[in-house]
Amino acid sequence: MNKKPTVKDQIKELQQENDVVSHMLAALVEVLEEKGIMTQEEWEEKIKAKIEKTARSYRDLEIER
């Protein structure tokens, strides 16, 4: 019998997937730092810029409604 996952189960699975992606990105940044390609600060600035750009585009969509 196939039991339908509960909301709690789905949230837990998403949290686990998020943790895996977070660890993968952290490992990637560590390798980039070790190779002298990018610093943690540069990585954080890129992330911040992308978040701000996305937030602006979402705000623009809200204004158009």
Q: Is the pLDDT of residue 53 over 70?
A: yes
Domain range list for the chain: 7-64
In sequence order, the 6+-apart residues with CB closer than 8 A to the CB of 29 are 38, 40, 43
**Amino acid present at 17:** E
What pLDDT does 62 receive? 63
pLDDT band at 63 (very low <50, low <70, confident <90, very high): low
Better pLDDT: 2 or 24: 24
Q: Is 4 helix (H, G, I), strand (E, B) or coil?
A: coil
Express each pLDDT in 30-49 by its tens digit: 999 999 999 999 999 999 99
- Binned at pLDDT 50, 70 and 90, residue 5 comes out as confident
